[in-house]
Structure 1
Amino acid sequence: MRVVGEIPHPDCKITLFSWNNRYLIKFECGLLEQTFKVAEYDVLQESDLYTLVDESFIQETLARFDAMNTSFRTRLQVIS
Structure 2
Amino acid sequence: MRVVAELPHPECKITIFSMNMKYIIKFEQGTLEQTYKLSEMDLINGVDSVFELLDEDFIKRVSARFQDMRADFMTTWKKYN
Please name the residue that 2:22 is paired with: 22
For 2:47 and 2:66, locate their aligned partners in 1 and report how far apart those are by CA, in whole Å.
26
Once the 2 structures are TM-superposed, how far is the Cα of residue 60 of structure 1 from its aligned partner? 0.5
1:11-55 per-residue CA deviation (whole Å, 9 max, x = no partner) reads 100000001111000000010000000011111211111111110
Once the 2 structures are TM-superposed, how far is the Cα of residue 4 of structure 1 from its aligned partner? 0.6
Residue segments in structure 1 that go unaligned for 5+ positions in a row? none
Please name the residue that 1:65 is paired with: 66
Once the 2 structures are TM-superposed, how far is the Cα of residue 10 of structure 1 from its aligned partner? 0.4
SS at match of 1:47: helix
Note the aligned Cα RMSD (angstroms): 0.6
SS at match of 1:69: helix
Residue segments in structure 2 that go unaligned for 5+ positions in a row? none
Q: Relative to structure 2, which stretch is displaced further, 59-68 or 40-49?
A: 40-49
Please name the residue that 1:40 is paired with: 40
- Aligned residue-pair number: 80
SS at match of 2:47: coil
Please name the residue that 2:11 is paired with: 11
For 2:71 and 2:52, locate their aligned partners in 1 and report how far apart those are by CA, in whole Å.
30
User: Sequence identity, in percent?
Assistant: 49
For 1:42 and 1:55, locate their aligned partners in 2 and report how far apart those are by CA, in whole Å.
22
Q: Structure 1: which 4+ aligned runs deviate by more than 3 Å?
A: none
Q: TM-score, normalised by structure 1?
A: 0.96
